[in-house]
């Protein structure tokens, strides 16, 4: 089970991770974007901490994060990640704990939100190149009877591999797409921040074991 307290801890720890990786994400974005992804994610998660719901309600917590990211994060990342969290929030209104099945749904809704807002698919050098493999690997692990920590470990490994797999891809969405073949050889910053988000959830659950 994932408790509402752990969901809040996930947001708090992700804020710290984004602060720690601000320069790294900015460097990745400088190669193929506006050089602002690290600053944007750091600012967005700091705003999420300020708005973090004190309620024992997973849906309310995720909605507060969504609203912070939409209002405070510039570029494409704010609307994309905001929609991701909002889609997940809508599924869990009033819930105080999430089962393994619920966490799978959280990842599924996250993928759906990014697809809907960004009109993107896997293989286009975006957030989805980390997030879709994470979801699919979590789903496969759960079907095999793996516990939540194991499912999230599998999801994190898949997200990391998906992140690395963006390096040889040609960007087809966002500002990076303007570079065409010159985007080859660069790791996508959005796929990287998505990996960090999934990894931090894994760490929260692993630490609670």
Count CB atoms within 10 A of the CB of residue 185: 11
pTM over 0.75: yes
What's the fold here for domain 2-207?
Answer: 1.25.40
CA quadruple 24, 28, 31, 33: dihedral, nearest 10: -110
Per domain, the residue ranges of the chain are: 2-207
| Burial group, residue 207, by CB count within 10 angstroms (0-12, 13-18, 19+) | exposed
Q: In a structure prediction context, what are the per-residue pLDDT tens digits for the chain, which is 209 residues long? A: 999 999 999 999 999 999 999 999 999 999 988 889 999 999 999 999 998 877 789 999 999 999 999 988 867 788 999 999 999 999 999 999 999 999 999 999 999 999 988 888 898 999 999 999 999 999 999 999 999 999 999 999 999 999 999 999 988 767 676 666 777 999 999 999 999 999 999 999 999 87
Q: State the alpha helices, DSSP H only, in the chain.
A: 4-20, 22-32, 37-51, 58-72, 77-91, 100-118, 128-143, 148-164, 189-207
């Amino acid at each position: 089970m994932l408790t509402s307290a752990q969901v809040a801890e996930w947001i708090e720890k992700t804020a710290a991770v984004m602060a720690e990786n601000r320069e790294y994400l900015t460097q990745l974005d400088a190669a193929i974007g506006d050089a602002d992804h690290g600053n944007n994610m750091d600012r967005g998660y700091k705003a999420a901490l300020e708005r973090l719901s004190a309620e024992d309600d997973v849906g309310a917590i995720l909605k507060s994060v969504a609203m912070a990211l939409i209002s405070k994060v510039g570029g494409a990342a704010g609307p994309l990640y905001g929609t991701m969290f909002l889609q997940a929030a809508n599924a869990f209104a009033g819930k105080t704990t999430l089962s393994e099945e619920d966490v799978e749904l959280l990842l599924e809704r996250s993928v759906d939100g990014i697809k809907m807002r960004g009109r993107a698919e896997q293989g286009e050098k975006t957030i989805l190149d980390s997030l879709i493999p994470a979801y699919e690997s979590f789903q496969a692990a759960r079907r095999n009877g793996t516990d939540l920590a194991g499912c999230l470990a599998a999801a994190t490994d898949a997200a990391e591999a998906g992140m690395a797999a963006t390096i040889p891809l040609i960007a087809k969405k966002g500002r990076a797409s303007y570079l065409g073949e010159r985007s080859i050889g660069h790791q996508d910053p959005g796929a990287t921040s998505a990996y960090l988000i999934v990894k931090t959830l894994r760490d929260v659950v692993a630490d609670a074991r």
